[in-house]
Amino acid sequence: MTSIGFNRFCRAFVLLTALLQLPPAARADLISIFTNVAPAAKTLLPRRASIIFIQCDGLGYGDLSCYGQTKFQTPNLDKLAAEGIRFTNYFVADTASPSHAALLLGKNPAHLRQRADVDIPLAPDETTVAQILKNSGYHTGYIGDWDLGDENSGGAPWEKGFDEFAGYLDYGGPAHSYDDHMFRYAPRSIYDETNKQWKAYVGREMIYANTQGKNQYIPDLLTKAALNFVKNNSPDQSNHYRPFFLLLDYEIPDGRIVVPTDAPFSEEPWPQAEKNKAALISRIDGYVGQLQEQLQKVGMTNNVVIFFSSASVPRKTPEVDPDFFHSNISANDLRVPMIARWPGKIPAGQAGDYKWSAQDFLPTAAQIAFENSPTNIDGISVLPALLGQAKE
């Protein structure tokens, strides 16, 4: 017994001597192996920011008061710009569908399989920003018009990385203003009693209020869905502070614009089409204000990045003339508004002339999420420009 005790003492002495000769970090790790005591905490990456991208198909460069609009005001978007950065050289394609695809895939519209006014769904081998973020642990949602593949194609939103979808798979224009249905993909929403498991709801969901008339304005409903998405998926202890990615799409049609009311512009001496357009843009401005309020209610006051932009420039039609509000800079200019807000990260009150486009969003979002981007894309991360660190 004495010999055994002496041998244990010798081994302990040798181990102690060896430990004292190790660097502090290695010493702490080795002690933890033998004692089950965790080593000192190492530097951890900060919690990743949630990302919200709001795009308005058909919104022009000069349609917001923070971009020079003088006939009406957009106070909530002006506030968003004042708290972040307002870019003056952000470009899109001339129609929405290729811009949607460029945003999701990080590719120049000229290199896309999608072309203007042609419904070519996203292919199975095309990786979207939603897939990258979902695989990184984000909860992802798309609300609005998709127009990149229907439910029978491999290009449906839930096939391309979105955990939730509410909206329309095809472009509808004014027809969607008071539609009597909406397409939804909702995971774990139906309980299968036979197989004892939750299934996803996929299909058309009726909007019964609109079967009896124009009672539910669809953009209002899309906004309600966005507010619920933020409320249900805000990072907290219950979901291990999981961040989310929300892509919210609104339409400002080139043709006839339908709104519940043209107030507060009813008495303006403008053509009726322009009253409706101003009313819709003001309504979208209000939606942004509601979203900001919801973020405050759930405590998301800083660790969320909000992008607001347009997916296409306005086009002149018999119904609407973009020149009335000076929506476009010039006939062939594809610049649109781009506002980004990230409190504590993006310096407030900035106006940036950095040149970028929809294809740059994917690598930017990936870098925000501490993820790598695919190598077969055209876009580059503009995070340095957002943070005021870009050299050009």
Residues 7 and 121 reside in one and the same domain: no
pTM for the predicted model, two decimal places: 0.86
Q: How far apart are CA 141 and CA 130, in angstroms?
A: 8
In a domain, 202, yes or no: yes
Q: Both 273 and 299 in a single domain? A: yes
Tell whether 234 and 382 lie within a shared domain.
yes
Structure token pair of residue 115:
């072309």
| Tally of structural domains, the chain | 2
| Residue 45 domain-assigned (yes or no) | no
Nearest CA-CA partner of 328 in 254, 243, 244, 255: 254
236 belongs to a structural domain: yes
Inter-residue contact 221 to 206 (CB < 8 Å): no
Q: Are residues 103 and 12 in the same domain?
A: no
Q: Torsions phi, psi of 287, nearest 5? A: -60, -40
In this structure, the answer to whether residues 12 and 59 fall within a common structural domain is no
Which range marks the domain in which residue 341 is found? 50-386
Domain assignment present for residue 224? The answer is yes
For the chain, 392 residues long, give each residue's pLDDT as a single digit of tens: 444 454 544 444 444 444 445 444 444 443 333 334 444 444 456 789 999 999 999 999 999 999 999 999 999 999 999 999 999 999 998 888 899 999 999 999 888 865 555 557 888 889 999 999 999 999 999 999 998 988 888 899 999 999 999 999 987 666 789 999 999 998 877 766 777 777 788 889 999 999 999 999 999 999 999 999 999 999 998 888 999 999 999 999 888 899 999 999 999 999 999 999 999 999 999 999 999 999 999 999 889 999 999 999 998 888 888 899 999 887 778 999 999 999 999 999 999 999 999 999 999 999 999 999 999 999 999 999 999 886 65
Round to whole Å and give the CA distance between 351 and 245: 25
Compute the chain's Rg from CA coordinates. 26
Whether the bond between 219 and the residue before it is cis, its omega within 30 degrees of 0, is no
SS3 category, 111 = helix
Which tokens belong to 334? 């594809």
Can you read off the two tokens belonging to residue 250? 């609104």
Best CA proximity match to 67, nearest among 90, 42, 50: 90
Instruction: State the angle between helix axes of 272-297 and 218-233 in degrees (0 to 180), rounded to the nearest 10.
Output: 10
244 and 344 assigned to the same domain: yes
**Residues 327, 366: one domain?**
yes
Both tokens of 93, joined, read 């394609």
Residue 43 lies in a domain: no
H-helix or E-strand spanning residue 192: strand 181-192
The angle subtended at Cα 131 by Cα 219 and Cα 179, nearest 5°, is: 20
Do 172 and 279 lie in a common domain?
A: yes
Residue whose structure tokens are 């405590």: 299
